[in-house]
Each structure stands twice: as C-alpha cells, then as structure tokens.
Amino acid sequence: RMLKRQMECRNDIHRLNAAFLAIYQSLIPPEEERAKQYQLLALLEKLVCKEWPEARLYLYGSCANSFGVSKSDIDVCLAINEDINKSEILLKLADILQSDNLQNVQALTRARVPIVKLMDPGTGISCDICINNVLAVVNTKLLRDYAKIDGRLRQLAFIVKHWAKSRGVNETYQGTLSSYAYVLMCIHFLQQRRPAILPCLQGMETTYSVTVDDIECAYFDQVEKLRNFGSANKETVAQLVWAFFNYWAYGHDYANSVISVRTGSIISKREKDWTRRIGNDRHLICIEDPFETSHDLGRVVDKFSIRVLREEFERAADIMQYDPNPCVTLFEPY
C-alpha cells in the first residue's frame, strides 16, 4: 500500500507540473506578435529619424527581456543627444506621432518616468516611449541573458507574473511590486537554490561593459557557454513555484535582508543603510536593482501593501501545499 501511495503521489506531482507547463505555454506570445512589434518599431524609427536623424530607438521591458506574455504593450526608449529638456522632446514627439495616424497619443511629461503613450491602429499595439532611459535598456539585456541560461527561469517568472496580475499585486501605484521586481525575485531565488540553477553573472569575468549615467554596468554575457549550468538541479517548475512562494511566505527575513542579484546572495539592510524610513522609502521588502544599487525596487511598498503582499505569498504557499487543484486556485481573481 505504501508503494501504491508513493506512486499516486508521484503521479500527482507529474500532473501538477504538466498543468503549470501548459499555463506557461498558453502565455507565450505567438511569433506573429513579435513581427507586429518590429513593424511598429520600424514605423516609429522612420518618423523619429525625420526629425532627429542621429536618434536611436531601443525596445526594453517585457517585449525585449523575454518575460513578456501575449498581448503586452511595448516599451520603447528614444536615445537622443540633445540638450533641450525631456519635456520639450516629448511634446515634439507627440506632435510628430499625432500627425501620422497613430491614436491616443498622449505626452505624460510630469510622470516619474516621463513618456509619450500611443496606440497603433495598424497593429493594435500600445506603446510607451521614454527618453534616454538607457539603464532600462541595459537591465533588459541582463534579464534576457539570464533567461537564456536555464528555461526554468522563464517558466517560473511567467507563472509568478501571471499570479501577481491575477491577484492584483502587480500595481506599483497601489504599493505592490513591478513586473521587473518579480523577475529579479525569481532570478535571485534560482541563484540561491542548491544546487544553483542560475549563476551570478555580475560576479564573473566581464565580457560586456557599458557606463550609463556614471554607473558601470559590467557582467559575463557569453551565456551560451552556461547552458548546462543548472543541470545538476533536477527540480521541476511545479517544485520551484512551491519553493518560491514558501520562501517569500515563511523563509525570507524581511527585517534584515536585501535580495541582491548583483552579488547572487542576500545582503544585510544594515550594510546598505536601508534600516530606516527615509522620505518615502520604507524598505519593508528590499530588492536591490542590479545596476542602480541605491535603488530599492521595494520602495513603493508601504505599511499597508506589505501586509497585502505577505498575505498573498502565504495564500499562494498554502495553496501549493494543501490545495488539490493549485493551478486553478492560485490564479483566482481577488
């Protein structure tokens, strides 16, 4: 009977993993979406270069970091070497785009990251354009390079992002975390796994290096050489989802710890002087940006939203532990 139960249990784990993989598959954008994104980028490039011939457009965010689900908006960075201020460029840009049939063109010059928003009726894609946010282009490459090392990162991050959106905890304006923060949490988690599933690219020999806004961004980017890095670890995505939520529900030391993809480990809040509230930065959950190391991606979290977040982590961990059908319950709308 013991053997029978063990076999049933193994079957369940197998079935659960297949269910998570099916969800992951269903979220992957189809190839024609990418083609449409590039079509829109080409149109924008043409319009922008008429006005600023030396300007360049870069994709960043989920359309370029490989963590984008189907039907995402695209994030574009306009890199331009002019001294006029950002607001003027954005207003001019909005003007140019407006007159070329693009819809809902809006310049948000007073946002924390000022942007122009638009919708392209040709492709149906919405797009945000920011100016000279080169650091975001570089951290997009870092995330994309991590994703190439082990397929389980993309699987885990898709599930976590899907969970966060379903549960309403992917809203920075409400004090919960950005998609970017969740992906960093996943990378950190896989770096910490034993055996490790991901290396620490910034701790290795430098093969790629740029300096942006006085910040040196350097890491090992020859990731095709690291394809077997995680192979000693046989965990499946279902096990990793369970362990991820368990870590954030019951394993993380919120009072003292900062997660750091840059170092591939945990560092102390004391070391970063993130122990007290300074201005609006409360440091209730600490996620160090890999390049802008003074930036805590948890800084949007306040004393109310930290409770919401931690209750959601606990809910998810408990569902993974006890629920007979976690693949449904986990993503139930809140």
Applying CB under 6 A, does 17 fall inside the site for ligand CTP?
Answer: no
Q: Which stretch binds ligand CTP (CB under 6 A): 4-12, 66-74, 103-111, 150-158?
A: 66-74
Residue nearest to Mg ion (CB): 61
Applying CB under 6 A, does 68 fall inside the site for ligand CTP?
Answer: yes
**151-166 vs 237-246: helix crossing angle, rounded to 10:** 50
Question: Strand 74-79 relative to strand 125-131: parallel, antiparallel, unpaired?
Answer: parallel
**237-246 vs 2-27: helix crossing angle, rounded to 10:** 90
Applying CB under 6 A, does 62 fall inside the site for ligand CTP?
Answer: yes
Nearest to 164 by CA among 261, 292, 62: 62
DSSP class of residue 91 equals: H
Q: Which of 72, 98, 109, 233 binds ligand CTP (CB under 6 A)?
A: 72
- The string of DSSP codes covering 8-49 is HHHHHHHHHHHHHHHHHHHHSPPHHHHHHHHHHHHHHHHHHH
Question: Strand 125-131 relative to strand 115-120: parallel, antiparallel, unpaired?
Answer: antiparallel
For residue 92, give both structure tokens: 């001019």
User: Which alpha helices (H) appear in the chain, and where do they start and end?
Assistant: 2-27, 31-51, 86-98, 134-149, 151-166, 179-192, 237-246, 269-272, 305-322, 326-329
**Closer residue to ligand CTP in complex, CB, 75/242:** 75
CB contact set of 312 (below 8 Å; sequence gap of 6+):
167, 169
**Closer residue to Mg ion in complex, CB, 161/252:** 161
Applying CB under 5 A, does 61 fall inside the site for Mg ion?
Answer: yes
Minimal distance in Å, beta carbon 118 to ligand CTP? 16
**Closer residue to ligand CTP in complex, CB, 136/301:** 136
**Closer residue to Mg ion in complex, CB, 132/246:** 132
Q: Which of 20, 24, 58, 60 binds ligand CTP (CB under 6 A)?
A: 60
Q: Which stretch binds ligand CTP (CB under 6 A): 51-59, 135-143, 216-224, 307-315?
A: 135-143
Cα separation, 243 vs 185, in Å, equals: 12
Applying CB under 6 A, does 128 fall inside the site for ligand CTP?
Answer: no
Applying CB under 6 A, does 37 fall inside the site for ligand CTP?
Answer: no
Applying CB under 5 A, does 139 fall inside the site for Mg ion?
Answer: no
Q: Which of 20, 58, 180, 245 binds ligand CTP (CB under 6 A)?
A: 180
The strand pairing partners of 106, in sequence order, are 117
| Count of residues of this chain found to bind ligand CTP when the rule CB under 6 A is applied | 15
- In the chain, DSSP finds a helix count (H) and a strand count (E) of 10, 10
**Closer residue to Mg ion in complex, CB, 183/285:** 183
Binding footprint of Mg ion on the chain (CB under 5 A): 61-62, 75
Task: Enumerate binding residues for ligand CTP (CB under 6 A).
Answer: 60-62, 65, 67-68, 72, 75, 136, 139-140, 178-180, 297
